[in-house]
Amino acid sequence: MNPLVFLVDVDDTLLENDKIQADLQDHLGREYGPECRDRYWTIQEELMQELGYRDYLGALQRYRVEHPNDVGLLSMSSYLLDYPFADRLYPGALDVLARLRSWGTTVILSDGDVVFQPRKVERSGISAAVQEHVLIYIHKEHALEDVQRRYPAEHYVLIDDKLRILTAVKKAWADRVSTVFVKQGKFAQDLEAVAVNPAADVTIEHIGDLLHMDRPALRSPSSLAM
């Protein structure tokens, strides 16, 4: 039983995922043309609705099924897998992970596919920063029993850019979890999502704001006051 476990999201919490998507669209348009770019992104959005997470390689495969003779697009997989994810870390992201690790077990808790998401976490340096404590699920809010089994704790601190996720976990774990809302990325700026979900225990503007916290342990919402 760990006294305290930090569960930290990846996309738009540690990594500026909106810029990764913009780079991908720019590359597709420049190398393969606007028609290819737009169709690929339409497939991407369709898969997002079906799966609940972005499946970049799955969208590429589906595009290939539609265009079996477009062999030039095959090189796109290399662009995705070799993307310099470390360049898209938010300022202070790895320092925050180091600070959290000094206070308790720190675990990456993310949604995503089985290939691209682990690659992103590894190549960005995030995996090494948490000593390979990485959990990636299809829907992490539905995998809380597995999270508890792997990392049993007296108290959890969940750090995420999606109020929907924070609300779901708070409902499941109640006072056993403190929620931290990081207002980065387009999901965090979705006014409708903000309106329909209760506020997190703490709201911060940037992930680097956690570096200004001076408490050695975070066990309750009241102790999370900035």
Q: Domains plus CATH for the chain?
A: 2-16+89-219 (3.40.50.1000), 17-85 (1.10.286.50)
Average pLDDT of the residues of the chain: 90
Please tell me whether residue 182 adopts helix, strand or coil conformation.
strand
The percent of residues in the chain predicted with pLDDT above 70, rounded, is: 94
Does 129 score more than 50 pLDDT? yes
**pTM above the 0.75 mark?**
yes
| Strand-pair category, 153-160 with 134-137 | unpaired
Does 226 score more than 80 pLDDT? no
Token look-up 């770019």 returns 37
CA distance linking residue 168 with residue 53, whole number of Å: 16
Q: Please give the single-letter amino acid code of residue 191.
A: L
For position 72, what pLDDT does the model report?
76
The confidence band for 110, taking pLDDT boundaries of 50, 70 and 90, is very high
Task: Please name the residues in contact with 167: beta carbons below 8 A apart, sequence gap of 6 or more.
Answer: 179, 197, 198
For position 24, what pLDDT does the model report?
92
Task: Please name the residues in contact with 59: beta carbons below 8 A apart, sequence gap of 6 or more.
Answer: 40, 43, 44, 47
Does 217 score more than 50 pLDDT? no
- At residue 29's C-alpha, the angle toward residues 61 and 73, to 5°, is 30
Does 169 score more than 60 pLDDT? yes
